[in-house]
Amino acid sequence: MIQLPSRSFVVGTLVFLASVWALLFVRLLPLSAGIMGWPGPDLALALILAWVLRRPDQLAAPVIVLAILVEDVLLMRPLGLWTAIVLLGSEAARLREPRWRDQPFMVEWFRVGVLIGLMMLGYRLVQVVFVLQVPALGQVILQFLATVAAYPLVVFGARWLIGLRRLGRGDPT
C-alpha cells in the first residue's frame, strides 16, 4: 500500500520552498542603481545546508533540485550545473548528519564552510573545463566568505522565524 507523506514533511517542504523563493525574490529586486558592489551571501545554499543538517526528514532531494533549478533559470546560470553541485553537497551533508548531530555548532560551521568551499571550487572547475563564462575569482571568494559568515545568522533566523530545530537522538521524525 502507498503511504502518504506525513504532515510535518509536507508542511516542512512548503515552508522551505516558500523561504527559498522569498530569498530569491529579494535577490532579484533592483535595490542598487546599477553599481555592483560586494557580492552578497548565497542565503539559499546556507538555508539548504541548515535544513538538511537539522531536519533531513523534511527535505527531499527533488525539492532541493526544484528550488535551485528555478534559481538557475531566473539568475541565468548554466542550467542544472549549480543544481547538481548543490544536490551533491546537500546529500553529502545528509549522509553525515547523524555523526554531526551531537557536535558543537562551531564544528558544524567549520564543516559547512569547507563543504561550501568545495562546492564553489567544483562549480568553478567545471566552468573552466567546459569553457563557460567564469566570474572573477575575487568576487567568488568574497561570496564564499559572505556565505560562510552568514550561515550562523541563517541558522538563528531559521530557528527563530520558522522553528527549525535539530533533532535529538531520541526524537521521533
The per-residue pLDDT for range 100-113, each reduced to its tens digit, is: 888 899 999 999 99
Structural contact between residues 132 and 78, judged by C-beta atoms closer than 8 angstroms: yes
Report pLDDT digits (tens) over 84-94: 999 999 999 99
DSSP 76: T
pLDDT in the model for residue 157: 92
| Statement: residue 172 has pLDDT above 60 | no
Domain map (residue ranges) of the chain: 9-25+39-162
pTM listed for this prediction: 0.89
148-157: pLDDT as tens digits: 999 999 999 9
Which residues does 16 contact at the CB level (< 8 Å), separation at least 6?
A: 47, 51, 58, 59, 63, 67
> Which amino acid is residue 113, in one-letter code?
G
Highest mean pLDDT among 97-101, 140-144, 162-166: 140-144
Cα 3–20–143 angle (5° rounding)?
A: 135
Query: If you average pLDDT over every residue of the chain, what do you get?
Result: 88
pLDDT (mean) for 76-99: 93
Segment 65-69 shows an average pLDDT of: 95
Who wins on pLDDT, 72 or 5? Answer: 72
- Radius of gyration, CA atoms only, the chain: 16
What is the percent of the chain where pLDDT is above 70?
Answer: 91
Give per-residue pLDDT as tens, 11-56: 888 989 999 999 999 888 877 666 667 788 999 999 999 999 988 8
